[in-house]
A and B are shown apart, each in its own frame.
Chain A
Amino acid sequence: MKFTLSWLKRHLETEASVDEIVETLTDLGLEVEDVEDRAARLADFTIGKVLEAEKHPDADRLKVCKVETDDGVTQIICGAPNARAGITVVVAKPGTYVPGIDTTIQVGKIRGIESHGMMASEREMELSDEHDGIIELQSGEVGQRFVDWLAQNDPAKVDPVIEIAITPNRGDALGVRGIARDLAARGLGRLRPLDTPKIEGRFDSPVAVTIDDDTRDGCPVFCLRMIRGVKNGPSPDWLQAQLRAIGLRPISFLVDVTNWFTHDLNRPLHVFDADVVAGHLRVHRAAGGETITALDEKAYSLPGGAIAISDANGVESIAGIMGGAHSGVTEQTVNVLVESAYWDPVQIATTGRALKINSDARYRFERGVDPAFTPNGLDHAVRMILDHAGGEPSHMVVAGAVPETARSYELNTDRVESLVGMSIPADEQRATLTALGFEVSGEAPSLSAAVPSWRGDVQGEADLVEEVARIASLTKLQGKPMTRPAQVLRPVLTPMQMRERTARRTLAALGYDECVTYSFIDAASAALFADEIEPLRLENPISSEMSHMRPALLPGLLQAAARNQARGVEQIALFEVGAAFHGGEPGEQHLLATGLLVGPGPRDLHGTRRAPDVFDAKADAEAVLAALGAPAGAQVMRGAADCWHPGRSGRIGLGPKKTLAVFGEVHPRILRALDVRGPAVGFTIWPAEIPFPKAAGTNRGALQMSDLQAVERDFAFVLDAGVEAQKVVMAARGADKTLIDDVRVFDEFVGGNLGEGRKSIAISVRLQPREATLTDKEIEAVAAKVVEKVTKATGGELRG
């Protein structure tokens, strides 16, 4: 919402400076976004006087002028027809930037004669489109700055343009008057009275208006007057200047009037050329598919249910959003229909969104204009038209009736203190509300406030409190300590929140760099990690690279790795802890922790260079699982998902269905698809799958330690190469569950003299006696049992 200072002063009598006004607006909740100082760019133009103007010897249209300026008399060549001796002009001396022609004036020769500057037209200074000649001032001293002259004589042309952001609740502030009212309530001036115009209708409008029964909820009231015999044309200067200042292009007087009231009183209007309208106007819902070319010259097809204004020719206007080109007024219009209607905000928002039309009218109607002002708003516009363009008005046609908005709310004056924490005297509260247009009755602390018709946003006591506090200024609010828990701080994080943190810090401690990648990825990458991606699809993605919610963290990390590889980074260790999505319903998300190691491994002058392999990934996965409290009994199984190398990956789980983690080499096909140079290994942990300890409490249980000497015995078994080490370990462990404390694999040897398809696995079995030192015989017995169990379970044999 833009307006100029002088426009504001039409409604607000104030001596306040621009700075004061700007600061106050922001404090009131009408946040100033920009103040355009239009005078600044004209600061170098000065006033001069033409002493002589002779024809240029070599050009018929040019004149050689002697101009008196603050630098003395200078010679300026000028092509304007009105350049003549005796007139007071505006001079751009050499070095002055002229915005309208985007040029800095230089001393130059025009047809052989030197020119030391320029005399400017209004258009050249972007004051108007006027370019029939140079400016002739009726007053002004030689050497005076032109902006100073303007400030005294025509301030509207150069006063600052203030732009404010209007929050959606403040439809009333979409008119300059509403802004003035807020400032006056704050005490920054006095709101000037707004007279109700008296229009004497001379005849009955030949055009009647009907509102269909099913449309009355969307259009409660529609007011219309015909004016016969107007003379349309360019608007008066002041009106053009104000519209131009806020970025609107003056079109013709009749149109400009509607635009001006839209911004001045937040009263959107529409004008029809009465001679084009056929028959009567009917306000109705579109069946759907009706077409109209609107004033923006674009064709629109109305959605079913949208409200249209039609005559015998068909649809003439998209109600409350944009008029039609067919019945729009032109310079030739002599008979005009002026419309002022109230449209339901939801209706306008829905249609506006469907048609993608952003007009000033839509913007206002969907934020709420003053319904009670509908007839008077019409008459303000009619008054202005009659005053400037003549004609005679009809009686007002009113279809429907102004909707009832009257309502009152109780305000307990103590409520401001209890809700906001500011102490504001009851009298001040009453005065504030009154200044904002509320009718306040009752005695403090129990007031009753009747809400003005333009404040549709006020819907209860809390809103009244807000108005009082806002006008009093929240800047004055002083902080007051909250009560604090009367106890030592207790932990506030849930067990899952702790797991998320632990996973994150463990991974960082293991040397991975944490990434936060986007939750959305492209369809192709999503499809690599999920069977069905349709439920993950966004309806309106910002780009095809971000079209689906991620089913896993790995694709985002692989893409991150590829970006880093493209920057020349070789060793990459990345992780992310965050949500992945397994569906499109709320809650269909799960926490994952994924780590990724990519690259050839660092060069090591102390050892051999080694690329990260599946056992690095497994080690880190196990470290995180341990940190998260996973039980020691978790098993490693085959059958990780397709994104992993089928032979070099595994699941760590509790039984076949409960997967706590997967690890492995990333499948080469995935690497190729995501443009990552391998090798790459990684892992994913499902922190929520790890069972939570059943018993709460801090007791760790007693430590069972034996002072008796433990015994270690090594065994090597020759097996088929396909037999997994875990099988050997499990079998060995089962040989004596009380005595065997630990079984570790310490060597693997494949092929060689063992023969094709054979391997040897060496284990170390640790026996921990509990009651008495083991005898050789006892040790032999356990050893034999180990051999028996392992050979039976694996089909292998003890290596000789």
Chain B
Amino acid sequence: MIYLLLAAGLFMGWSLGTNDAANAFGTAVATRVIKYRTAIIIIAVCVIIGSFVGGANNIGEVAKLATSNEVIASTDVVTDAIESGMVPMLKLKSALKAAIIFVCAGLTVFGMSYFKFPVSANQSITGAIIGWGLYYADYSNPEILSVNLPQIGKFAATWVLNPLGAGIISFILVKTVGQLLEKKLSTLGGYDTLIKTGYIIAGILGSYSIGVNSSANVTALYFDYAYSETGVAANLLTNPVITAGIGGIAIALGVLTYSKKVMMTVGGSIADITQMDGFLVIIAMALTVVLMGNLMGIPVSTSQAVVGAVVGAGLTRGVKQVNFGVFKSIGLAWIGSPTIAGVLAYAVAFLTQGFFG
């Protein structure tokens, strides 16, 4: 019965799938380079592969952040629960806390989408974790601070580094690879083959990176970080690879069942760039998300990376070609999503302190 609480995370994964799929194949589908059905099958398969192959690394990092913010039980807390025979209660509380975080993040995504504000699901989850921690974690404790502050710092740094990195990679790719490929073209048919192949490769890389990056956000809060030391399961999931894999499957289901509308909308708006730039932008996003994830150790926003990459591609034609106004609305999503989710989580933590405190 307790495993029903996993549904909150899976739902979050499903909604991530419905939204983030657009980042990998939106442009290709909207411009009819790739058929929608082909795109969703490629995304679903690659997201699952990415989550199983590379998701576990982020699981550990998210779990570390969640542990220091009192969302996931630390080894000491689990050890105490084992000694006092309270493991089933601890397991229930941990799963409930995870579900609360996902509900807060989910409400943020829903609310911001309802009012037509751009939103980042990944950022909302991290914001909710920090919001919960701000209520419960002892920020006067240097040990907590030494874990939390760098994590929060990293989180804020990705707001700049992620789009900046994507912009630089995209600029270099368009300037070098794009123009080199253009020189090699001899026929219109050859151009079409290049575009199709490029979008498929970019889509595969993009989907893989979503699997690596986002799967952790979906299920890491159900992961028992202390299991390797205690050997007793104090949360719903104990294997990091399977934890990430379940997240990947949830995202894949979102892609397969309800991604068309977002894919057409987002893809259409990104499609202002040329077809050649389009797939290079996705490759830049994928590289950035995976690199940033490895470098910073936390899942980053794929949407931030796409925006940065689009701007980078635009800059190859000069500063005047870039619509910097896009940053106003996107900036709102970057700052608004984690802030609102954090405030919600803080409020819920306050209201439920009698049970969790």
Q: Does B bind A?
A: no
